[in-house]
Amino acid sequence: MRDVAIIGIGHTKFGRASKTSLELFSEAALQAVDDAGVDLKDIEALFQGAALPGFEEGQVTPAAFSAAELNLGGGSIPATRYEGACASASIAIREAAEWVASGQCDMVMAGGVEKALLMGTLFATRIFAMACHAPTEGPAGLTFPGVFAMAARRYSKNYDIPLDKLREQMALVSVKNHKHGALNPLAQFYKKMGDLKVEDVINSKLVADPLTVLDCCPFSDGAAAIVLCAAEEARKYTDDPVYILGTGQGSGGALSKMKDLTKPDSRIKSARMAFKHAGLRPSDIDVLELHDCFTIAELIALESMGFFEWGEAAEATTEGQTESGGKIPVNMSGGLIGKGHPIGATGASQVYWIVKQMRGEAAKGNQIDPVPEYGMTDTLGGDFGTLCHIILGRGK
């Protein structure tokens, strides 16, 4: 198996877009090939994440039409859509890396796209709940805010943290991620809510007790794309290749069969797979983009991945350990909460922002100093149904 490098990246502005998803993905794709200094015709296969294009634009098999629109590879190349809810693009990138690593392809494009705002937040919340277990969670009327409200209550109970105290600790996640999002020109909330206070989060509109609207990421339109090639070829194209050192993927079932909503096996096993594959440990990672669909989601992700002991992430956040200069800087891009969450694009956006960090090109105020050696992404699809991790390194 060959090592794999990322040599080009592209990313649209997240938020409400007037462009179609075909146009959004094309924008990111053109940026990525331009950034890599390669031609569209050099791309041998397209791996595209898209969660709900049928419901949004009446379009399934979107990857084929993106490949055609861009005339990738001169036409008719393999183009596959991956649907793993929010983890769609991360799965696509993991598969893309596999086809390059095996030597079957030399240069490929991966990424994702979503027009989630076409549906409106209320309808999107219901439609997107189809990533819950339909036979048992559908009839219960469960949507994702409800799932994570339950997770917050479970977390509070597990570790004897009074709900009021946890409420404040969760708010700090929102404050931190909005601060970074406000500095990120491509973020949905760029120049907005950068000086949010804990009280603002607590006093905003209640969504699913104890979560308020500022505990929740928004739905978004957007796309992100990357170009991958064999590591040994990477320096032909760029002075700043970023290497895919390890990936992991895991799956889970109905919530009713989970022992503890805050300790999903799917994430634990996926993260371990990625660390084993990379030959690294959590303490090696310098920067992390993780799936903060809700503030509580950031806390429990950190523990399942091994960055903090069980029950310690909330306090660690309060201590600033997830900020720049802390033990592990988390979501310096703004994360889903500050940057936005175009479902099928999110995993590719996370990789984009780790690469930017490793190039020293993150937004001013968000860039880690010194430039990180190792970074990681964590992407969650559904209510722990699909997890995907990607570990990246600058190489020496």
Q: Which two tokens stand for residue 52?
A: 């709900």
Please state the closest distance from residue 1 (CB atom) to a second copy, in A.
Answer: 6
Please state the closest distance from residue 229 (CB atom) to a second copy, in A.
Answer: 17
Q: Which residue, chain included where needed, has tokens 């890396």? A: 97
Please state the closest distance from residue 267 (CB atom) to a second copy, in A.
Answer: 9
Of the pair 10, 246, the CB lying nearest a second copy is at: 246
65 near a second copy, rule: CB under 8 A? yes
Interior CA angle at 247 toward 243 and 252, to 5°? 160
Binding mask 77-96 for a second copy (x = CB under 8 A): xxxxxxxxx-----x---x-
Q: What residues numbered 164-203 form the site for a second copy, per CB under 8 A?
A: none
Non-local CB neighbours of 348 within 8 Å, separated by 6+ positions: 11, 28, 49, 89, 90, 92, 93, 110, 111, 112, 223, 224, 225, 226
How many binding residues for a second copy (CB under 8 A)? 62
Q: Is 103 left (phi over 0), alpha (psi -120 to 50) or beta?
A: left
Non-local CB neighbours of 292 within 8 Å, separated by 6+ positions: 173, 177, 217, 298, 301, 330, 331, 335, 336, 337
Of the pair 88, 174, the CB lying nearest a second copy is at: 88
Q: Single out the segment in contact with a second copy by CB under 8 A; choices: 206-214, 226-234, 244-252, 333-341.
A: 244-252
6 near a second copy, rule: CB under 8 A? no
Surface-to-core class of residue 164, CB atoms within 10 Å of its CB (0-12 exposed, 13-18 middle, 19+ buried): exposed
Give the chain's largest Cα–Cα span: 60
103 near a second copy, rule: CB under 8 A? yes
Q: What residues numbered 258-287 form the site for a second copy, per CB under 8 A?
A: 265-266, 268-270
- Identity at 89, one-letter amino acid code: A
59 near a second copy, rule: CB under 8 A? yes
141 near a second copy, rule: CB under 8 A? no
Asked if 191 and 197 count as a contact pair (C-beta separation under 8 A), the reply is no
Catalytic residues: 86, 341
Please state the closest distance from residue 20 (CB atom) to a second copy, in A.
Answer: 7
Please state the closest distance from residue 123 (CB atom) to a second copy, in A.
Answer: 14
Q: Single out the segment in contact with a second copy by CB under 8 A; choices: 47-55, 142-150, 164-172, 203-211.
A: 47-55
DSSP letter string, 198-209: HHHHHHS-EEET
Binding residue for a second copy, selected from 292, 385, 389, 390, defined by CB under 8 A: 385
Q: Which residue, chain included where needed, has tokens 């699809």? A: 381
379 near a second copy, rule: CB under 8 A? no
Q: Which residue, chain included where needed, has tokens 């990138």? A: 93
355 near a second copy, rule: CB under 8 A? no
Measure the CA–CA gap between 318 and 321, rounded to whole angstroms: 8
**Positions in the binding site for a second copy (CB under 8 A):** 1, 20, 22, 45-46, 51-52, 54-55, 57-61, 63-65, 67-69, 75-85, 91, 95, 98-99, 101-104, 127, 130-131, 133-135, 138, 249-254, 257, 265-266, 268-270, 381-382, 385-386
